[in-house]
Amino acid sequence: MNKDEERLTVVNVVASTRVAEELDLPDIAIQLNCEYEPEQFPGVVYRVTDPKLAILMFRSGRAVCTGGKDEQNIHTGIDRMIKDLRKAGITTWDLKDVEIEVQNMVATYALHYPEDYDGTALRDTLDMKMGTPLAGLPRKLNLNNLTFHLPFDKVEYEPEQFPGLIYRLDHPKVVCLIFGSGKMVITGARHKDEILEAVQIIQDELADLL
């Protein structure tokens, strides 16, 4: 595992699937004791404790699983839900016919100075005194500068509305929320590879500002 992967944490995986031809939601809500307020939202909310997940089930037999840390979590949750449905006498598809598609992954990444960076702290700060070598340490950012350095039409930064700078990449097609602390949130990816690609691209663009 390289530095990028170490500093990257997938915090949420969302996937969609179909577990039955159709589902009787009012019945399921009662049988499995799930949240169901049809006038507020058409789906039933089925919750799994460990891993902590929330699965939304719909009348069409389709379902959306959120909260996973990886794809394995999602499978575990869906399998458990199907077993629960069957125990309650509800007809579902065979497990082998249930296909799961990851639709979104959210990750956080903490920016650091390159290991071979030769710059030093320009002045004393709360956690570092002037002259400390910065190589390998967490890197803070000046978002106002960044706004001008990145492609204008891909960036949105309105600190009064939201503290993060919003950066939309075309390839991979993901969105990054970049914060002054040097931490960022990457979302919209369907595979972890896309997240790592995005991180690499941003690191390269930020290298110019060192």
Partner DNA sequence: TCCGCTTATAAACCCCTATTTAAAGAACAC
Partner DNA sequence: GTGTTCTTTAAATAGGGGTTTATAAGCGGA
- Positions that interact with DNA (CB under 7 A): 11-12, 14, 16, 35, 39-43, 45, 47, 52-54, 56, 58-60, 62, 64, 66-67, 103-104, 106, 108, 156, 161-164, 166, 168, 173, 175, 177, 179-181, 183, 185, 187-188
Q: How far is the CB of 66 from DNA (least distance, A)?
A: 3
Classify 28 as helix, strand or coil.
Answer: helix
80: number of Cβ within 10 Å: 16
Residue with smaller CB distance to DNA, 103 or 147 = 103
Sequence letter at residue 10? V
Unique residue bearing structure tokens 């390839």: 171
53 vs 134, beta carbon nearer DNA: 53
- Core vs surface per residue 128-167: b (16+ CB within 10 A) or e: eeeeeebeeeebebebeebeeebeeeebebeeeeeebbeb
Smallest distance from DNA to CB 177, Å: 5
Q: Which is nearer to DNA, 9 or 120 (CB)?
A: 9
Nearer to DNA by Cβ, of 166 and 201: the residue is: 166
